[in-house]
Amino acid sequence: MERIAPGGRALLRTADGVVFARGGLPGERVRVAVERAARGVRHGVVTEVLERSAERVAPDCALHPRCGGCDLLDLAEHARARVKCEIVRDALARVARLEPPLIEQALRPLRAPGPHDDRARRRVSVVLHGGLPTLSAPESHQRVSVERCPALHATLERGLAQLAAARGPDGVRAQLACDERAGAVLALERDARLARAFVDAGGRGAVLTVDERSFGDPSLIGEVTSDAHPCRSDAGVFAQATRFGGAAIRDEVMRAVAPDSGTRVLELFCGSGHLTVPLLAAGAHVEACEGDARAVRFCRDNVALVDAGARALVRQLAIDEGLRTERAPDVVVIDPPRAGFPGLARLADQLRPRRFVLVSCDPATGARDLASLIARGRRLVALVPIDAFPRTSHVEWVATVE
Ligand SMILES: C[S@@+](CC[C@H](N)C(=O)[O-])C[C@H]1O[C@@H](n2cnc3c(N)ncnc32)[C@H](O)[C@@H]1O
């Protein structure tokens, strides 16, 4: 096997096409059972390691490899950072079509939490099956019940047990989260009985996102935001899943925007204000846009605490190619979901800001969006990869484009 691809699978190029194999590591010779093949690409699973990598370790989780949550557990911790940087370089070269010298000029060292920083996750999304919380198995629709999980904060792990004790019906999707205060909180779309049973089993609170009914105290305060400006939210709106990841993204965005009292920022995909609030606190004028009505309400409340007056405008809208803005920005900050933002090029033509700050949680779509700006004569000046999920191949970045 040559290297690790996004999603944690080992990759090998052969004369007959590409092979992706779960459970393989770079440098290993392995036997692979092919599960599916199409147009020269074969996907499979390693059934035998014939020549073992010196970086292979015993996974520290009993659910691995049945669970699809953490995909780098066979690889020594020190090697995981290298793998993530390779994934970033590959996306910049193959998708953004940047020449190696340009990549090396822009690429900064990976920002990573300390070694053994386990139990970092403060959020998890599960589906109930047989009354138990489950995660999905890799590349399949099968569910794996999860009682213990070394990736989760201990409070969140207790939340899983409380949810299991509440015995909800099959198929219910539930979001669990926790902050510094004791107890896990839950968000469900509906199902008041389950929400109440979760609180009775010791959960701190639960909210139903469809009608805002709450049970116990479902609020989160400063879950991943700074101590100086702790945002309020709940488990039913987006937040970064690790405190390190949230802080690193915020710090790098602030560094890249370098706001002062006159800077006009257009912020797209603002969620509940994790980036909006520090930008306003630094004196910027911010027009922040977000589609989720509940997140917008939290964002407006969080922004009100900064007392930014007319400098703040939070708009609820579906962000698409036809986006119209209220103010011409100096800087555009975008933090889209995995699909990225294909409308970026059109926005660049329309607004002509001096700088874009692009947060990405998916190297392929992030590189595609970067490429659309580079094709319009923009220049990638810095890209900081962030290791927000240390046990996985997942990597985020904050890119500055001028
Ligand atoms: C990666 S999150 C970023 C949130 C925020 N910047 C933060 O740091 O917490 C992406 C956000 O985009 C929102 N979103 C996704 N698709 C959208 C769309 N088409 N229009 C508007 N908002 C959208 C989601 O609700 C989510 O809050």
The pair of three-digit structure tokens given for residue 128, joined into one six-digit string: 């109930």
Q: Report how far ligand 1's centroid is from the alpha carbon of 269 (Å).
A: 4
Helix, strand or coil, per DSSP, at residue 31: strand
pLDDT digits (tens, 9 = 90+) for 91-141: 999 999 999 999 999 999 999 997 666 788 999 999 999 999 999 998 888
In percent, the amount of the chain with pLDDT more than 90 equals: 86
Contacts 24+ apart (CB under 8 A), 195-202: 197/165, 197/166, 197/167, 197/168, 198/162, 198/163, 198/166, 200/166, 201/161, 201/162, 201/163, 201/165, 201/166, 202/158, 202/162, 202/165
Q: Report how far ligand 1's centroid is from the alpha carbon of 257 (Å).
A: 19
Active site residue 289: no
- For residue 276, give the ligand 1 atom closest to its CA: 6
Which among 263, 225, 265 is positioned nearest to 243, based on CA atoms?
Answer: 225
Instruction: Compute the residue count for the chain.
Output: 402
The pair of three-digit structure tokens given for residue 294, joined into one six-digit string: 């509940």
String of b and e for 252-288 (b: at least 16 CB within 10 Å)?
Answer: bbbebbebeeebbbbbbbbbbbbbbbbbbbbebbbbb
- For residue 270, give the ligand 1 atom closest to its CA: 6
Per-residue pLDDT, averaged over 67-80, amounts to 92
Q: Residue 335 burial (CB < 10 Å; 0-12/13-18/19+)?
A: buried
With beta carbons less than 8 A apart as the criterion, state whether 287 and 329 touch: yes
pLDDT digits (tens, 9 = 90+) for 151-174: 999 999 999 999 999 999 999 999
pLDDT band at 225 (very low <50, low <70, confident <90, very high): confident
Please tell me the least confidently modeled range out of 64-78, 206-220, 280-294, 365-379. 64-78
The pair of three-digit structure tokens given for residue 8, joined into one six-digit string: 């944690």
Residue 240 in this model has a pLDDT that exceeds 90: yes
Pocket of ligand 1 (CB under 6 A): 238-240, 269-271, 274-275, 290-292, 295, 318-319, 335-337
Tell me how far apart the alpha carbons of residues 331 and 262 are, in angstroms, rounded to a whole number: 11
Residue 147 in this model has a pLDDT that exceeds 70: yes
Site to probe by mutation for ligand 1, drawn from 238, 360, 394 as the one with most ligand atoms within 8 Å of Cβ, is 238
- Residue of the CA atom closest to atom 15 of ligand 1: 337
What pLDDT is stored for residue 180 in this prediction?
86
With beta carbons less than 8 A apart as the criterion, state whether 85 and 110 touch: yes
pLDDT band at 224 (very low <50, low <70, confident <90, very high): confident
What pLDDT is stored for residue 254 in this prediction?
97
Among 61, 67, 299, 361, the active-site one is 361
Which among 186, 201, 187, 116 is positioned nearest to 151, based on CA atoms?
Answer: 116
Site to probe by mutation for ligand 1, drawn from 209, 223, 269 as the one with most ligand atoms within 8 Å of Cβ, is 269
- Residue of the CA atom closest to atom 17 of ligand 1: 291
Residue 79 in this model has a pLDDT that exceeds 90: yes
What pLDDT is stored for residue 116 in this prediction?
63
What pLDDT is stored for residue 228 in this prediction?
87
What pLDDT is stored for residue 360 in this prediction?
98
Per-residue pLDDT, averaged over 382-399, amounts to 96
Domains in the chain (CATH in brackets) are 1-56 (2.40.50.140), 123-221 (2.40.50.1070), 240-401 (3.40.50.150)
Residue 394 in this model has a pLDDT that exceeds 80: yes
Which among 388, 397, 387 is positioned nearest to 81, based on CA atoms?
Answer: 387
